[in-house]
Structure 1
Amino acid sequence: MSSLFIWGKRSACLLALLMLAPPARPIASAPAAPRFLEEKVGVASVGTPEQRILSAIDHIRSGNLANARATVDALLKEQPNYRLAHLLSGDLYAMRAMPLTTIGAGADSTQAARLEDLRKEAQARISIRLTHAPQTQLPAHLLVFAPQQQYALLIDAEASRIYVFKNVDGVPTYVTEHYATIGKLGSDKFREGDQRTPLGVYFVNNHLSRPYLDKTRGARADLYGIGAWPISFPNELDKSEGRTGSGIWLHGVPANTYARAPWASDGCVALSNEEMLDIAQYIQVGQTPVVIVPKAEWISKVEWQSRRDAALSMVDGWREDWESLKTQPYLSRYAKQFKSDEGQDLARWSSQKASVSASKSWSKIQLDNLSIYASGGPRPHLTTSFTQNYRSNNLDNQMNKRQYWQQEDGIWKIIFEGAAT
């Protein structure tokens, strides 16, 4: 039996442990009472807090309660506000008297909502081990980095996970990852106050330090822990679709807790303070893309290169048609539901572009600092950003531009185009 099969089987058992209904076997076998009168001294597992909480669950599941106790105690000594670790600690004490069928079975049943949140946190942390791929495959969402973009953040809403990738000669290279909290009602934000985290391509556009938050937010500053990094929601496409809201940030957590439940924010993405500080070192304000998807897609390098080449060819084809004054092929690259940043629909846009093209005898168009990122979910898009250098017989200008592409009858077309904000 391969080690991969054994690991998958073990992970599947761990998932069963966390469900509300009792699993096929209890959290630990029912031992004879005298065995627990004098608990053996165990060996604490080492690693990150997440690695150790998972190790403790593994130890409990296998019946190695001494190592589980040592691991939980060491973790709580380092992270005294880690509520999931406290819950496991209570379970370990309860198991001296009786077997438990699920995490938290030995806790006060009047705290049902809190127990459920902690079970969901444990399940989110364990589940990632079943589908983990970022160190062996590439993210389908990070296709083209602009040269100045050193890192990109990818947030998998379903997995409650944030990943950091480095731009290494244009290839997204895995750096690190952490558990993260998203909106109480999930993802795909549409309006102010819907307690959802947005889906799409955004950019970190500010840093609000904790001292600044203390001055401006008072007692509420503690909600954001060590500080906040706002992102550019709503983006240009969101606004054109009538999506509303503001104040979507990456931020820390209050001082009295280590981590929050997977779905607990009002739409922001929250990490433990320690892990938010780790993420912060990779953020370039004004540059770092934050790609939020319902579920991350991991592909081989060969497939990633193919998608990257296709995206680059698509954008260059648009540029070439425009530069060559091929008005009809150029306009055919725009979707029927197209909107410009000035509110023009496809008919008005086409009329204006045809008129402008008729006044040209030649044009030269160069795209610099190009980036291309792909979102997923119910409305998949490609987001392209670039510096456009345009020259013709009667005009010479430069602008930062952003386009959003979506598929129409199986063909990628531009749904929005305008100045990048």
Structure 2
Amino acid sequence: MQRATAAPLVMAMFLLCSFAAPAQTLPPSKSAAARPAAEQRKPTPRPAARAKARDGEAEARLIEIYKLAGQAKSREALAQAERLVTDHPNFQLAQLVYGDLLAAQSRPVRTLGDVPGTTATANATMLGDLRQESLLRLKALRERPAPGTIPSQFLQLSARNKHAIAVDASRARLYLFENTATGLKLLADYYISLGKSGIEKMVEGDLRTPLGIYFVTSNLDPKSLKDFYGSGALPINYPNQLDVKRGKTGSGIWLHGTPPAQFSRPPLATDGCVVLANPDLERIIKTVEVRSTPVVIAHSLKWVAADSVKTDTQAFDAALQAWHKAKSTGDIATLTSLYTTDFNSYGKTLADWTVQQRTEAEKMRGRAVQLKDLSYLRWTDSGSDTMVVTFGEVVAGARSGQVRRQYWVRQSRQWKIFFEGVV
């Protein structure tokens, strides 16, 4: 018989079992509840060759341990915690929970990481980080997005955007979507770590993670990287053209993994990158495509019904159609009126751009322009309302064309382009 219970710990931390199950499910296995009590007490031997970790699996097992503890099934929770730390010895949060469950066999445990006073004082920062990581994992899994909802930034994706990524900084969570014939489908979501100084990057070296709409630009071979970056890295195009317009500086913002000694990093621990556990990053690397995958990073994602995202875009649709018509007919006056006075395209001013448009119109000789694979995403903050538009521009009669990206800003009630360039 156990000499103590984990009840105080349950009240302090583990009595948080009323959340929906995480998106990932555990592989079929013999549960702790189905094992004989004698078998549960025996240490689980480490397999000679550990199976490759699956994305989301470790977190799902940790949450199951929380549930068991919350249901006063401390023996089962301990057995599962022992197996988890055997499989993932570098999972520090799991090690902390395992230690608490062991301590609860002989004394009350009143908080996550209930260690002796001197040890707690000496490791106050680490304990605080692990407690915050635990709370954020639980928060994200309790506050699941409603079925059929998507982040409000994804107004329209083309068939070329096979996947999309959205980051909610307030929940330390990354959401991975598949773009299907019927719309965006949430595939998985993962705990992440962000910049040491938080979010909204402004200048080089401020240790903040940027906010905005970005795209994966490349896939870096892990063999070319230090162990610090884990299983690989996916750079994004920070600073984007809105960032440049606002005078933001810096570079080298990546989605990357963790060093071998860490399964995950504290919520605020990077130099500005978005960092995931290696199994989670590996799933993303195998899934997304370079250049066509949008990455939204927001302070807090607003989830809306998928069929309602375009209800507030009629004015923008009209502006885009006016641009398309003017481009196709060579109406330079109308075309120019749809650009801001401070328009810039890699150093070209509006005057330079107007000359280029006249030259292109002469070459087209009245042939219509087709917009293929049109996608647009909306970024709204206190500074402005912006549309990031990407499309293939194909002149009638041609078999292929250039892929263009435009940044539109709403000035009063009018939408105008402040940047346009070839992707």
Q: TM-score, normalised by structure 1?
A: 0.78
Secondary structure of the residue that 2:170 maps to in structure 1?
coil
Structure 2 residues without counterparts, runs of 5 or longer: 1-6, 16-36, 45-55
Show the 5 A alignment for 1:8-407. 25-27=11-13, 41=40, 48-106=57-115, 108-109=119-120, 110-133=122-145, 135-169=147-181, 171-213=183-225, 221-306=226-311, 312-325=317-330, 329-335=334-340, 338-344=343-349, 348=351, 362=366, 364-379=368-383, 380-390=385-395, 398-407=401-410
User: CA, structure 1 residues 141+358, in 2 after alignment: closer, same or farther (shift >3 Å)?
Assistant: closer
Contact 2:153 2:379 in 1 (8 A): yes
Q: Separation in 2 of the partners of 1:350 and 1:267?
A: 35
State the alpha-carbon separation in 2 of the partners of residues 171 and 164 from structure 1. Answer: 13
SS of the aligned residue for 1:102 comes to: coil
Structure 1, unaligned stretches of length 5 or more?
Answer: 1-16, 30-37, 214-220
Partner SS for 1:166: strand
Distance change >3 Å, CA 130–CA 27, structure 1 → 2: closer
Work out the CA distance in 2 between the residues paired with 1:265 and 1:39.
Answer: 44
**Structure 1 residues 273-313: Cα deviation after superposition (integer angstroms, max 9, x where no partner):** 11111111112123222222222221113213535777555
Question: Which secondary structure state, in structure 1, belongs to the residue aligned with residue 238 of structure 2?
Answer: coil
1:164 counterpart SS class: strand
Name the CA distance, whole Å, in 2 between partners of 1:195 and 1:129: 27
Root-mean-square deviation over aligned CA pairs: 3.6
**Aligned to 2:208, what secondary structure does the other structure show?**
coil
The answer on whether the counterparts of 1:144 and 1:308 sit within 8 Å (CA) in structure 2 is: no
Q: For residues 267 and 408 of structure 1, do their structure 2 counterparts lie closer, same or farther at Cα, with a shift above 3 Å needed?
A: same
CA change 1:311–1:102 in 2 (3 A) is farther
Q: Residues 81 and 259 from structure 1, CA distance in 2 versus in 1: closer, same or farther, beyond 3 angstroms?
A: same
Q: 1:149-171: per-residue Cα shift (whole Å, max 9, x none)?
A: 32122222222111221121272
Which is worse superposed, 304-313 or 366-375?
A: 304-313
Residue deviations 1:65-93 (CA, integer Å, cap 9, x gap): 22221221121121111100111112223
Assess, with a 3 A threshold, how the Cα gap between structure 1 residues 102 and 405 changes in structure 2: closer, same or farther.
farther
Distance in structure 2 (CA, Å) of the matches to 1:145 and 1:335: 25
Alignment of structure 1 residues 402-417 onto 2, 5 Å: 402-417=405-420
- Give SS of 2:344's match: strand
Partner Cα separation in structure 1 for residue 182 and residue 72 of structure 2: 47
Rounded Cα–Cα distance in structure 1 between residues aligned with 2:372 and 2:9: 56
C-alpha separation in 1, matches of 2:306 and 2:159: 20
Alignment length (residue pairs): 378
**Distance of aligned partners of 1:25 and 1:336 in 2 relative to their CA distance in 1, 3 Å threshold:** farther
Report sequence identity in percent. 30
Q: Deviations over 1:101-154 (max 9, x none)?
A: 321133621101111111111111111133211643123222322333321222
CA contact (8 A) 2:198 2:208 kept: yes
AA of the residue aligned to 2:370: Q
Post-superposition offset of 1:197:
1.4
User: Could you tell me which amino acid in structure 1 is paired with residue 193 of structure 2?
Assistant: T
Q: Which amino acid aligns with 1:369?
A: D
CA, structure 1 residues 50+411, in 2 after alignment: closer, same or farther (shift >3 Å)? Answer: farther
- What displacement does 1:39 show? 11
Equivalent in the alignment of 2:18: none
> Could you tell me how far apart the structure 1 residues matched to 2:68 and 2:148 are?
27
**Distance in 1 (alpha carbons) for counterparts of 2:307 and 2:413:** 22
